[in-house]
Amino acid sequence: MSPQEANKNIFSILSKLPYASVINLKPLDSDEKIIAFINKAIEGVYSQISSDPQLRDQIDKETVTNVLASHFVNQINATRTTYEKFDYQTMSGFSAALNISNLIKEASTKVIEPEVTTLKREDAEVFLKHYENKIESFKQQIALMEKSPNKKMTKTIEAKKKELEKYQTAIEKIKSEEPSITILFPPFSSPRELSKQQIDTIRKMEPSEENKAITEISKYIQLSNLALKQFEHLAQTINPQYYDIEKIGRIISSLNNDFLGKEASKLYLAALTEKLVSKIDMKNLAFPLSKENANTIESLINFKKYIDENKERISISPETEELLHAQDINKLEGLLEDTHKVERYNRLHDKASSAPSSVSKHLTQQEHSFLSLFDKIITHGNYSTSTERNV
């Protein structure tokens, strides 16, 4: 089947899906809603193609995705200025990364109920500090309750003391010479408390229906391992012109809860940095900056600012930080400022450009003027001479 015939069939099916009408696309006010709309349309069209014997072997899902994504993105961008352009692949990449990061956060904070478990003593020993902390916590709780005892509190105190005894027994067994011990496990409330050594120890344990705690922790580890593989791929889907710092911040924040999440965030930031830096060639940045270069430089400046402002709260490798700081940000900011000088000059000499356009009505008149001029300069090459730039 030719591309033209494939397109014809795709749009024929699309026209019969009321929910996929462009009319329903226009009111959407967030990237997440737009992505969900486009994906629903893609799934709806492909579902019908898959059930049609004459089409299912002729049109694959990738073709449907490319055709419909391009169609809807053109509809969206027809009413947007240059610097508001929507990029389906980039926004899909951010959306997928955010979904995965939220799943990891949910898994890392899931409460794990302790149960009597048989372990190798050497494995249990890795968690000794947790048992000691648990005992200290119980002692403090009991001491606080005993300061103001009542009938109801007495029962709670007795229950706490019984739990305390179980953890004290666990420590005694851990410090014994027995090769295998049966103790209350785990001594922590959620996987987010695990260290690298403890994660490696649990990886060696065999999950089973009888051992629900280890099974739940193993699921969290498997999910995190999957994320480590996915994040590097997802970073490659991001167009350097469209680095959304707010979305990146949300993704990193969701991952910043536990050891494996921090490892995933470190990898994601490294991949984003490499992708961004690779697109900026300092030797070939002609003035005035092209739209692509200007957007990419803006992404780099904002991305580095995010890293610098949050480096005490996020996980970033020394190599990534070094790569970012190797960029001549002052020179890049200077190039942007020089381009802004051109815009200011043209604003003074072109009164017509101050009139707002009919699109993006949430912008002020001044913002409309700025974006209109910048598009004129970058897209059409209508800029001043080197003498005029100094005005």
In this predicted structure, the answer to whether residue 43 has a pLDDT above a threshold of 60 is yes
- Write the CB contacts of 48 (distance below 8 Å, at least 6 apart in sequence): 13
Q: What's the distance, Cα to Cα, between the start and end of the chain in Å?
A: 59
CA dihedral 126, 132, 135, 140 (to 10 degrees): -140
Top mean-pLDDT range of 33-47, 284-298, 368-382: 33-47
Does position 115 have pLDDT exceeding 70, yes or no? yes
Query: Can you tell me the mean pLDDT for 343-350?
Result: 63
pLDDT beyond 80 at 276: yes
How confident is residue 197, by pLDDT bands cut at 50, 70 and 90?
very high
Q: Give kind and range of the element (H or E) at residue 224.
A: helix 212-236
* 3-state secondary structure (DSSP) of residue 357: coil
- Residues 42, 48, 54, 57: is their CA dihedral positive or negative? positive
Please report which confidence band the pLDDT of residue 366 belongs to, taking 50, 70 and 90 as the band edges.
low
Flag whether pLDDT at 182 surpasses 90: yes
Residue type, 136: E
Region 91-106: what's the mean pLDDT? 90
The top-scoring range by mean pLDDT among 240-254, 272-286, 331-345 is 240-254
pLDDT, mean of residues 318-328: 89
Question: How do the domains of the chain map onto residue ranges?
Answer: 1-78, 115-187
pTM, entire model: 0.75
Instruction: Give the Cα separation of 144 and 156 in Å (integer).
Output: 12
Q: Which residues are CB-neighbours of 314 under 8 A, at least 6 positions away? A: 252, 256, 265, 269, 307
Neighbouring residues of 330: CB distance < 8 A, sequence distance ≥ 6: none
Residue 389, both tokens: 């730039």
CA distance 295 to 278: 14
Give Cβ neighbours of residue 253 (< 8 Å, ≥ 6 apart): none
